[in-house]
Amino acid sequence: MKKQTKQMVLKVLNHGTTVLLFLLLISMTFFVISSKASGGEPEIFGYQLKTVLSGSMEPGIKTGSVIAVKPGGDMKRFQPGDVITFQEEDGKLITHRVTEVVDSGGNIMYRTKGDNNDAEDLNPVLSENVVAEYTGFTIPYLGYFINFSQSQNGAFLLLIPGVILLGYAAITIWRAIKELDVPKEKSVKEENSSLT
């Protein structure tokens, strides 16, 4: 009875490890392909995932978090209280809260402020520079992992689960083939013994 329980536990651990490694490999493959296809930022169902690199929106959005933003649509629709992602002149993306909407002769501009900042941003944001709207979806600290995975050392370390999974698959296939050969050998021996 103990032997059967031990075998059952090992079998469950074996399957659990396989599923975990497979899911890790699939998720990393998805992030790599998605980020390459979208020019560096992963995209899921039309939402872009952005890594937050500063604490200007804390405590709601922590440094190192990954946030989901929705690109597209009418960029003149935002109201005070909305959180937008916009591009500065140097190409840097910032996610801050709209504090005021300024209509300047048909041009819509937004005054913005980080929730954790003492003052509003110096320059108003032109509606043309708004890239997306923050959806409220945040995964704390995942950004640190994504930034690490995009580094040379991180990419190397993320290959390890894939290599382990491939090695494990090869061993499993080899064992299955070996188990198939055992019944064949037994049937050949039985045929030989029945002939004599």
Report pLDDT for 176. Answer: 74
Instruction: Choose, from 34, 54, 127, 149, the residue flagged as catalytic.
Output: 54
129 has a pLDDT exceeding 80: yes
Does CATH number 2.10.109.10 belong to domain 42-141? yes
Q: Residues 12-17: contacts with CB within 8 Å, 24+ apart?
A: 17/168
Please state, in angstroms and rounded to a whole number, the distance separating the CA atoms of residues 15 and 80. Answer: 51
109 has a pLDDT exceeding 90: yes
Structure tokens at 23: 């899911």
Active-site residue, 54 included: yes
Domain boundaries, the chain: 42-141
Residues 6+ apart with CB under 8 A from 117: 56, 96
Assign residue 88 a region: left if phi > 0, alpha if psi is -120 to 50, beta otherwise?
beta
Instruction: Summarize pLDDT for 131-162 with one digit per residue, the tens.
Output: 999 988 888 887 777 677 666 776 676 667 66
184 has a pLDDT exceeding 70: no
Report pLDDT for 140. Answer: 87
Please state, in angstroms and rounded to a whole number, the distance separating the CA atoms of residues 135 and 113. Answer: 17
Q: Cα–Cα–Cα angle for 50, 151, 19, nearest 5°?
A: 80
**In the predicted model, what is the mean pLDDT of the chain?**
79
Q: Which of 83, 35, 80 is nearest to 57 (CA)?
A: 83
